[in-house]
Amino acid sequence: MSGAGLSVTKVFTFDAAHQLPNHPGKCRRLHGHTYRLEVTVAAELDAKTGMVLDFYDLSSVVKEKVLSRLDHRYLNDFVENSTAENLCLWIARELTELPLQQIRLWETPTSCATLRL
């Protein structure tokens, strides 16, 4: 087996506030969430390390490029219409140095948006 098709996922959480200016209901008003972010990367297995990507390295990039900017912030400062879907797109643009396969952003324990790359 070559290790083709392998991926690894790291899970993060952050707290932030936002409002959805185009929403017809209560989400139009300012409110907050504890977001759960899942970042999945895929690559060939490195024969020397036995890894797709070291979890520490993945974590370091996500913390620097995304969490340090979004945690305890007003998300509309980054994405005007800060839906979970639009936030997935923004996050993917910030993580271009990673071999991204998927971004999944949970806004609540039962609601998420998924971007497959």
Which of 33, 85, 107, 112 is the catalytic position?
A: 107
Q: In what order do the strands lie in the sheet with 111-116?
A: 73-74, 7-18, 31-42, 100-108, 111-116
Which of 27, 38, 85, 112 is the catalytic position?
A: 27
DSSP letter string, 60-83: HHHIIIIIHHHTTEEGGGT-SS--
Which of 23, 31, 64, 72 is the catalytic position?
A: 72
26 backbone φψ class: left, alpha, beta (φ>0; ψ -120 to 50): alpha
> Is-catalytic flag, 33?
no
> Is-catalytic flag, 27?
yes
CA–CA gap between residue 67 and residue 24 (Å, rounded): 29
CA–CA gap between residue 117 and residue 115 (Å, rounded): 6
> Is-catalytic flag, 72?
yes
Catalytic residue annotation: 27, 72, 107
